[in-house]
Amino acid sequence: MLKDEDKSREQLIIEIQQLRKKIEESNAIVRDIAKYKNAEEALKEQLHFLQLLINTIPNPVFYKDTLGLFRGCNTAFEQLVGLPREKIVGKSAHDIYPPDFADRYSYMDTLLFRKPGIQAYESPFPCPDGMHNMLFNKAAYLNTGGEAAGLVGVIIDITERKQTEAALRNNERFLNSIFDSILDPFSIIDKDFNIIRINSKTQELFNNYAPLIGKKCYEVFHYSPVICDGCPSVQTLKTGQAAQAIVPKKGPGGEIFGWEKHYSYPFVDMATNQLNGVIIYVRDITAKLEVEQEMARLERLNLIGEMAAGIGHEVRNPMTTVRGFLQLLGNKQECARYRDFYDLMIEELDRANSIISEFLSLAKNRPVDLRPVNLNSVVNTLLPLIMADAANLDKNIKTELETIPSILLDEKEIRQLILNLVRNGLEAMSPGGSLTIKTSSDSTGFELSVADQGEGIKHEHLRRIGTPFFTTKENGTGLGLAVCYSIAARHNASIKVDTCPNGTTFSVKFRVR
């Protein structure tokens, strides 16, 4: 009996021990549950804190899982898409974005998962008011333990910045259009004379030296290895004040073919008030100077013409008397030994009379007998005489006569004009040279040109061409070209001179009346 009781007691002890163990295990589970609940509460508090922190960010923020479903966002993102967080979490881009933009955003997410890192892109986004804002999207790839966990994205509204950039571009285009609409060369150089900005006219004139930016202005514009003498930009850089100067237009070989007026203005940084360079504005005044010179020359011609009209005839009368008495005395027997002297005096009187005749041709009020005349007919009439003179000088004559209609001309004066130009051209050439007489027409009128193959006219002489009594010939009177200019003026025509080392061309332009 005792043995049965001992067995029962031992069994009871074992059961009690097993129960105690289960109680301890239950207590451990309870403790673990408590810890878990505490951790869960702490995690909830932490997530709540993080959500509050994210909500303070003014820019929309979102995060997605690897399936592209939204798992969270901040208040700014809710306002952007116009949905509460409850309707965002668990949804895809196609569920919350407009259809036109969902594909774009989903594609960028796919790129991010294929190539982890940071993706940034700009995209328009529709607003409730129907307008479109420009958004800058930046998404970062998330991973845990080397495995993809999702991505987090930040959206920045760059609409105002884009509008500002567009306004700046429009202003720049507007300023560039003004800059390029200037019909004269316009450029900006720095303090070392390097070109930093040009307009389209400058580019057009010096396109052979493109690109111009960065090159020295004196090398490009004036073909000079050093700063030009009298350059107004030098004065502007020294004084900070505007300056101007008239400078010659030069070719690559240094030849002068015109004149320009350079205006230099200080190029100042408005923020620092520091002089950074020079603004250069150039006006071609070649035509203006030519007009001024032509007016001055015509004024001198008019003055001399008035003098010629007043005294020419009065001088001729006593000269005619003297010549008659010299002829009478030269025929007398007792004066025969002085016949050579009489002949020389008569010859000089005749020469003086011819000069007076040319002098009288300068008269402004000289009447002209205008009748329909064909220029080609006048040239052909004079051609035998011209060719005879050329043959005596061992020179050649060529003609290029276009078919032209008749115009109102004084034939006698036009003959004198042609003969003067031809004889000047023949005298300018060496034996064997050719002189070309050419006629042509266009919508504005008719042109007669005489081109020789001489050595050209020196630049210092070119400005004085047509001035009465100016000549480079030893026995010249300086009235031949002056008479030509007077005849042209009386016929409402103009004379243009083109010269180079290979010859000179005088062109007479007759305008349609």
Say if residue 231 is in the same domain as residue 138. no
Q: Considering 335, 360, 385, which residue would you say is the last residue of a domain?
A: 360
Q: Does residue 375 sit in the same domain as residue 487?
A: yes
Q: Write down the residue that tokens 């030269």 correspond to.
A: 330
Co-location of 413 and 506 in the same domain: yes
- Whether the pLDDT of residue 276 is over 80: the answer is yes
Mean pLDDT of 444-455: 88
* Residue 445 counted as domain residue: yes
pLDDT of residue 497: 87
Classify residue 332: in a domain, yes or no.
yes
Residues 426, 445, single domain; the answer is yes
Domain hosting residue 315, numbered range: 289-360
Whether residue 185 has pLDDT greater than 80 = yes
**Is 47 within a domain?**
no
Pair 267, 257: CB distance under 8 Å: no
Comparing CA positions, the residue from 184, 233, 188, 178 lying closest to residue 205 is: 184
Pair (58, 158) in one structural domain: yes
Note whether 422 and 428 are within 8 A (CB). no
Residue 340: predicted pLDDT: 80
Q: Residue 467 pLDDT more than 80?
A: no
The stretch 84-89 carries a mean pLDDT of: 88
Residue 277 and residue 294 in one domain: no
Give the CB-side neighbour count of residue 417, counting CA atoms within 13 A: 30
- Above 60 in pLDDT, residue 197? yes
| Residue 366 counted as domain residue | no
State whether 344 and 413 are in the same domain.
no
Domain endpoint, select from 360, 394, 415: 360
pTM, two decimal places? 0.45
Give the pLDDT of residue 437: 92
**Mean pLDDT to the nearest integer, 215-240:** 86
Assigned domain for 483 exists: yes
Q: What mean pLDDT do residues 281-297 have? A: 79
Taking each helix axis as running N to C, give the angle between helix 375-392 and helix 411-428, from 0 to 180 degrees, rounded to the nearest 10.
30
- Which position has the higher pLDDT, 363 or 167? 167
Highest mean pLDDT out of 98-112, 169-183, 446-460 = 446-460
Q: From CA 285, how far away is CA 270, in angstroms rounded?
A: 32
Angle, vertex CA 229, rays to CA 223 and CA 233, nearest 5: 90
Tell whether the model's pLDDT for residue 138 goes beyond 70.
no
Task: List the CATH number of the domain containing 312.
Answer: 1.10.287
Calculate mean pLDDT across residues 291-312: 67
CATH of the domain at 222: 3.30.450.20
Q: Which of 9-23, 61-75, 201-215, 437-451 has the lowest mean pLDDT?
A: 9-23
In a domain, 241, yes or no: yes
Whole-angstrom distance, CA of residue 466 vs CA of residue 434: 24
Mean pLDDT computed over 166-194: 83
Residue 184: predicted pLDDT: 83
> Comparing 458 with 397, which gets the higher pLDDT?
397
pLDDT above 90 coverage of the chain, percent: 5
pLDDT of residue 179 exceeding 70, the answer is yes
Q: How far apart, in whole angstroms, are the C-alpha atoms of residue 68 and residue 399?
A: 90
The verdict on 261 and 293 lying in the same domain is: no
Same domain, 393 and 317: no
Domains contained in the chain, number: 4
Task: Say if residue 309 is in the same domain as residue 268.
Answer: no
Distance from C-alpha of 298 to C-alpha of 368, rounded to nearest angstrom:
18
CATH code, domain carrying 422 = 3.30.565.10
**Based on the domain organization, do 310 and 415 belong to the same domain?**
no
* Lowest-confidence region among 84-88, 99-103, 198-202, 358-362: 358-362
pLDDT above 70: percentage of residues in the chain: 73
Q: What is the pLDDT of residues 419-441, one digit of tens each?
A: 888 988 888 888 989 999 999 98
What does the alpha-carbon distance between residue 485 and residue 301 come to, in Å, rounded to a whole number? 9
Section 324-329 average pLDDT: 79
398 vs 111, higher pLDDT: 398
pLDDT given at position 143: 64
Tell me how far CA of residue 68 lies from CA of 43, 64, 72, 100, 102, in angstroms. Answer: 24, 6, 12, 18, 12
Whether 362 shows a pLDDT value over 60: the answer reads no
Average pLDDT over residues 195-217: 83
Shared domain check, 155 and 123: yes
Average pLDDT over residues 51-57: 78
Asked, for residue 356, whether it belongs to a domain, the answer is yes
Residue 374: pLDDT above 70? Answer: yes
Q: What is the pLDDT of residue 507?
A: 92
Q: What is the pLDDT of residue 450?
A: 92
Last residue of a domain, one of 162, 194, 221: 162
Q: Is residue 151 part of a domain?
A: yes
